[in-house]
Amino acid sequence: YHASVIRAANFLSLLAENDGIPYYTASNTAAGIIANLWLGASNTGRVYDDSIINEKLNKNGICSAAYVGGRWAIWGAHAASYDQEDGDSVNVSETNMMMLYYLSNDFQDRRTFDVDKPMSANDIQSIVAEEQTRLDALVKINALTYAEALLDASEAARSDMYNGDFLFYFNVTTTPLAKSLSVLVNWVDDGYATYFAPLTGGD
């Protein structure tokens, strides 16, 4: 519960910093008010590391807190619906899901004033162009990696248009989060050629 409250506060702070666009996760942000944890007399001084938290909690979509990088941090960027059996390309990251909600809600909020007004072919083209411009701006700031706005003009959709129902599509790809960074360090003897060059006259 404590970590969830801090996570929510950190997420709101990130939203404010990024103009309300939810493409940053609260995971791996400082949780400085966590201190003096009491886990029982038999666990004095014990702190669960991020590998245990990842294995027991994070892989099941449960956000927690971990002591990483010399400070307590919120830990876990999966959506709550994520687990090993039900993971997909959307719920693998809370930012993926939040960006989809953001795009849908933002469109509805801005386009409210277009409802119950005449909708010419030029109006439709203008809406598509304006929405594409907004999506392109999200790609430019790395909130999305791909975005396309279009109107469903299929034959089935045209019958709905007679009734005033217009369906627009946003085909988007969200920017993936770095879940882990790994490095393999290999020892090689290639550097000895440079090392010995001054001693052997460059041979």
- Do the beta carbons of residue 147 and residue 138 sit within 8 Å? yes
Neighbours of 10 (CB within 10 A): 20
- Do the beta carbons of residue 172 and residue 103 sit within 8 Å? yes
Q: Which amino acid is at 75?
A: W
CA distance 5 to 33: 11
Question: What pLDDT sits at residue 13?
Answer: 84
Question: What pLDDT sits at residue 36?
Answer: 60
In 3D, which of 21, 15, 26, 25 has the Cα closest to residue 138? Answer: 21
CA distance 132 to 20: 19
CA-to-CA dists, residue 118 to 42, 155, 161, 182, angstroms: 72, 21, 12, 56
In tens digits, what is the pLDDT along the chain, a chain of 203 residues?
A: 456 667 777 777 888 888 899 999 888 888 865 556 666 667 655 566 667 777 778 777 777 877 777 788 888 778 878 777 777 778 888 899 999 999 999 999 999 999 999 999 899 999 999 999 999 999 999 999 999 999 988 876 777 788 888 899 999 999 999 888 899 999 999 888 888 888 887 65
DSSP state letter for 113: G
Q: Which amino acid is at 80?
A: A
Q: Which amino acid is at 143?
A: A
